[in-house]
Structure 1
Amino acid sequence: MIYEGFQERPEIRDVPRPQCPPDGAVVRVEATGLCRSDWHGWMGHDPDITLPHVPGHEFAGTIAEVGAEVTGWTAGDRVTTPFVNACGRCPRCRAGDQQVCDQQTQPGFTHWGSFAELTVVRHADVNLVRLPAAISAAAAASLGCRFATAYRAVVDHGGIGPKDPQPATPVSNHGGEHDPDTWIAVHGCGGVGLSAVMIAAAHGANVVAVDISSRALEAARTFGATAVVNGSKDDVPAAVRELTGGGAHVSLDALGHTTTFQNSLHSLRPRGRHVQVGLLVADAATQAVAMGPVVAQELELVGSHGMPAHHYPRMLDEIVSGLLRPELLLGREMTLDEGVDALIAMSGSSPTGVTILRP
């Protein structure tokens, strides 16, 4: 699937086989997620995209070819990768923070992506993730952006669930460990939001799910939400504060919109933490923040940008054990041809669940 201009209808056609970098791998794509980030790229919101362009950044498949410098992988291995591909050498990477690599690349943005039969992963030894046999290609394709991003936002930044050896400081209300009375609000119940609902509920938190779609809120209840708020009908901050007995301990903007950002921030109790997960782009990129309440109530604002490859094993173990069920978040499966209309349709709204394309 390739487009020659932003907001022009993509086409399905043959293109040259991608060249394998010496330190990279070519992956034969078995399944790839259709994400709102792909829509942002097609709209022209991402300055890294050079036209013509092949989108797609959430994928799973088997290695078709490895470069001469790759040591840990061979053809035939089942793999996925984070949406941020790190260099492995910069100070951020050496500190273990590959998700904010100084030299990061992103398949489907900085170079051609996974809406194709073959795609390239650069710096393969740093960025590839080995898939357990128990996890399907479709479920694995949903992990690279939405599910993994939600996992790190809830667990590492929200302080809910198991901790890394050097975790983010947990919300002070938790006393350093998970409190069963913890409330987390999730604003926006698309792929990221529903993933966050599932992950937080699986780790014992009380979840308030917020959306304007009744169907999305029904899905949120299915995946463990304790309560729901319809943003088209209710005063969202007031409703969240009432349901949680004073405000959420942690609140996520899983959509990336001025309304969801402001609602999330104003839904917090004193010493609560806002985690920004959804991309704020175009007119929403610059937000006005009322710093008086931030200071007076000691609120925290944290950004969350994906999850590095070396963090995946913990999440994968929880999937294999059945604690987490990302396959339940899957929506429709489509061909690349059908995916063209599905991408364009995201100008109206995002589908409930994760749409999977099969090249």
Structure 2
Amino acid sequence: MYSIRTDLALEAREMYKQNAQQESEVPGVEVVTEGSKDISVTRVKITSLDGVEAMGKPMGNYITIEVPRLRENDPDLHEEVCKVFAKELFNIVKIDKKATVLVVGLGNWNVTPDALGPKVVSSLMVTRHLLEYIPEQVDEGVRPVCAIAPGVLGLTGIETGEIIRGIVDRVKPDLVIAIDALASRRMDRISTTIQIADTGINPGSGVGNKRMGLTIQTLGVPVIAIGVPTVVDAATMANDTIDLMIDSMLKQVEQGSAFYEMLKNMDKNEKFTLIQEILSPYIGNLMVTPKEVDTIIEDVSKVIANGINIALHEGIGLEDVNRYVH
């Protein structure tokens, strides 16, 4: 099977079913979808080694929130997405109300499509120090939350996983939440999709640059990963464009002709490999992002930050967040 880069479990499932040409569910995978055309939620649960092999992802829960109009400047929609996201995150956070949470904003704040994590951290309710030094001024239901944006290996010279492991050893949080930019295989899912997973994360995976994983195995505490796709592989875009062109030509070419049979029987593996080989000398491993990515990252990061805020702090609503965020 040719390798199309995606970090979304939902897309891994779609591609498996497409390549296997089957309508039945992927073996070892359970899927539930609910919601509306504005906000839909798909819960993918990988329950067996068969599912792990088919999906190429660890066993666990993957929640995907799709909001086709999320890029639009619609405050009411953004607030509704915050609440849906907060509800899904709350249901997956299985720790005591007073347990400490460390939020990690992965990515490079100097590169806009990769700045999601640091942007989210800048809008979080960071409360651990308040509960330690001025607890009488903190509302009931606020838990200790600390946060860091550790940068990337190219900026620090230190593996991100090593930085986080050192902080975890010192602070001893009960849970780590890691936010990172992801890669999608479809442009319409760029910055319109949020994924929550309880399996941890590999920093840099969105651009094919995997580092030390942030998982319960490497850190010793549960890790929830939150990601938003901000880039798509150029070779994938070219491949999809050619597929659409072939589909269009098949409708116009006489069935049974030699040209028709050639188009119909074109090997997808060979086609995708050929595209990569042609593009590589000119553009290398190019990732593509929308031109308005600055505004998109700004808006989406606030949606995620506010969702995390109201999910972690019971009794705190969106109207209370500004009192804790500076």
* TM-score, with structure 1 as normaliser: 0.31
* TM-score, with structure 2 as normaliser: 0.34
Higher relative contact order (CA 8 A, sep 6+): 2
In terms of fraction of residues, the more helix-rich structure is 2
